[in-house]
Amino acid sequence: MSATAEAMAQSILPTAAAFSPVGPTVIDCQLEKVFYGDFLAVRNSNVPIEKGKITGFIGPSGCGKSTVLRSLNRMNDLIPIFRFEGHVKYHGQDVYGKNVDPVVVRRYIGMVFQQPNPFSMSIFDNVAFGLRLNRYKGNLEERVQKALERAALWKEVKDKLQKSGLSLSGGQQQRLCIARAIATEPDVLLMDEPCSALDPIATRQVEQLMLELKERYTVALVTHNMQQATRVADTTAFFGVDISQGGRTGYLVEMGETSRIFEDPQEELTKQYVSGEFS
């Protein structure tokens, strides 16, 4: 294929119209291409994360929304075959810069995972983990209590802080993980389908928590559940899967204010997805 033909092929690939949020952005994420080995997993996804807001990532399975989320705090570095073209900037600083230790990135950009993953240690030690890691000198008990209160877990565990975190139920474990993540007050909190292993009551509590969290933090939320996005997200990014190039490559289809995405989608694919024609 000649250079011009390739350029033409590139230009006809569907890509999202650029979205720039009204408020200041915390993370400027422009992923041109994300590879796992030779597999092109995500392309052309320009996802700015607005400060103090909840940005929801929605889309069908395999659309790369988790991959995009995990590239924001370099969790993908754990996968040796991961590489990408583009940039991720946090407060204007290149997250993947030569002298940037991923460990530092993750201390400012915290994460809550799909499966609850408390450490096999006491509830208290779980929440105090990040504080101790950062050599926090203040009142540990106070911080732990505050984090557990914010995670809506304090009342249930205040009498058994020395019990193992793994002795809690699934919903409680996930709230413990949220408490662990917010105890160090990270600037940005990434949540990768945090409610997928939870029952409706626990889901409601976690959603309530997210709305409270955005008062202080910026949240990026991957969800498989469209209703959840409408309930909590201020901005929504819809990802689709492009099978035209042979593989299954995810890309950003459309991004905008949540109400606009759901009520007045501009792209046909978004329209079909939000109306529930496929999932």
Return residues touching another protein (CB under 8 A). 73, 75, 78, 103-107, 110-111, 113, 115, 117-122, 129-130, 133, 163-168, 177, 180-181
Tokens for 38? 């030779």
Task: Return the number of the residue (181 or 255) whose C-beta is nearest another protein.
Answer: 181
SS (H, E, C) 224-263: CCHHHHHHHCCEEEEEEEECCCCCCEEEEEEEEEHHHHHH
Element (H, E) at 46: strand 39-50
Question: What are the helix (H) ranges across 99-198?
Answer: 102-108, 123-133, 140-150, 154-157, 170-182
Chain position carrying tokens 């997250």: 95
Task: Return the number of the residue (60 or 102) whose C-beta is nearest another protein.
Answer: 102
Do residues 67 and 266 touch, judged by C-beta distance below 8 A? Answer: no
CB of 101 to another protein, least distance (A): 8
Task: Return the number of the residue (34 or 181) whose C-beta is nearest another protein.
Answer: 181
CB of 167 to another protein, least distance (A): 3
Letter for the amino acid at 27?
Answer: I
3-class DSSP state for residue 94?
Answer: strand
Task: Return the number of the residue (73 or 258) whose C-beta is nearest another protein.
Answer: 73
CB of 135 to another protein, least distance (A): 11
Can you tell me the distance from the alpha carbon of 40 to that of 62, in angstroms, rounded to the nearest whole number?
Answer: 12
CB of 215 to another protein, least distance (A): 23
Task: Return the number of the residue (10 or 115) whose C-beta is nearest another protein.
Answer: 115
CB of 169 to another protein, least distance (A): 11
Do residues 279 and 58 touch, judged by C-beta distance below 8 A? Answer: no
